[in-house]
């Protein structure tokens, strides 16, 4: 019996080490294969992208963006003004009538003077994979500039490329955010998850009719 338990413990230890090693290698692969696609706003300005895709983050109870989201939106506004694209796609969580990231995001962008018809809302961007999948399949985006914090960009670009988009990213982290260590750990795990999703390529949670990004954002 003691020999059995020793063998079991050895097997479990080897399994844990193997899973950890594979996870580290996947993270290295995701980061190394996408880091050259993180570009400056000036470089993005000559890409003539189909859309600037701003990924959602938390909104406050008073319906204003959290600091992380505000920085993403400001970067998206700057890219639009630099003529990186004439379309902005905001993608976030609107899973209940009481929580609507994308309307807050669009209203913030409109306050900067960008025309409403140039700003599209994706209400079903519940996570990074869904946002990328829907940008490609629903909004028909082929060349995209993704805006989020740098730690998140590697995964977003990786997914987008594996779904067939010509993807680049501009980082939006002009400040230090509280709780970043916890986010970095979650991101480590999320890269592993989305590495496998990028192989399987499941459909988004919600699909629906196509909404071509070349159209009018006021119609949706």
Which tens digit of pLDDT belongs to each residue from 110-150? 999 999 999 999 999 999 999 999 999 999 999 999 999 99
Give the C-alpha separation, 145 to 167, whole Å: 6
CA distance 146 to 213: 15
* pLDDT of the residue at 8: 67
Kindly report whether the global pTM for this prediction surpasses the value 0.75.
Answer: yes
Contact 128, 92 (CB under 8 A): no
Domains in the chain: boundaries: 36-219
Query: Any idea which of 11-15, 32-36, 205-209 has the lowest mean pLDDT?
Result: 11-15
CATH of domain 36-219: 3.40.50.620
**Quick one: pLDDT band at residue 1, thresholds 50, 70, 90?**
low
The pLDDT of 84-110, averaged and rounded, is: 93
Supply the mean pLDDT for the chain: 94
Answer whether residue 50 shows pLDDT above 90: yes
Q: Which of 209, 213, 90 lies closest to 140 in space, CA to CA?
A: 213
Which residue would you say has higher pLDDT here, 94 or 128? 128
Outline where the chain has alpha helix (H).
2-34, 41-44, 67-81, 101-110, 128-137, 150-162, 180-200
């Amino acid at each position: 019996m003691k020999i059995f338990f020793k063998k079991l413990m050895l097997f479990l230890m080897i399994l844990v080490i193997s899973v950890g090693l594979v996870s580290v290698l996947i993270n290295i692969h995701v980061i190394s294969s996408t880091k050259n696609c993180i570009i400056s706003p000036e470089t993005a300005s000559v890409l003539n992208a189909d859309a600037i895709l701003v990924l959602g983050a938390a909104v406050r109870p008073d319906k204003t963006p959290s600091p992380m989201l505000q920085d993403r939106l400001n970067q998206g506004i700057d890219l639009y003004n630099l003529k990186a694209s004439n379309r902005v796609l905001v993608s976030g969580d609107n899973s209940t009538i009481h929580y609507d990231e994308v309307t807050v995001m669009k209203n913030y962008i409109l306050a900067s003077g960008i025309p409403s018809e140039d700003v599209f809302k994706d209400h079903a961007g519940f996570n990074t994979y869904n946002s990328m999948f829907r940008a490609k399949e629903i909004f028909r985006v082929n060349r995209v500039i993704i805006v989020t914090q740098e730690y998140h960009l590697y995964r977003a670009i990786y997914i987008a490329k594996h779904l067939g988009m010509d993807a680049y990213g501009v980082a939006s982290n002009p400040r230090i955010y509280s709780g970043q260590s916890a986010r970095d750990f979650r991101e480590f795990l999320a890269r592993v998850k989305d590495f496998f999703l990028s192989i399987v390529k499941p459909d988004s949670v919600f699909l629906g009719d196509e909404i071509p990004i070349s159209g009018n954002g006021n119609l949706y």
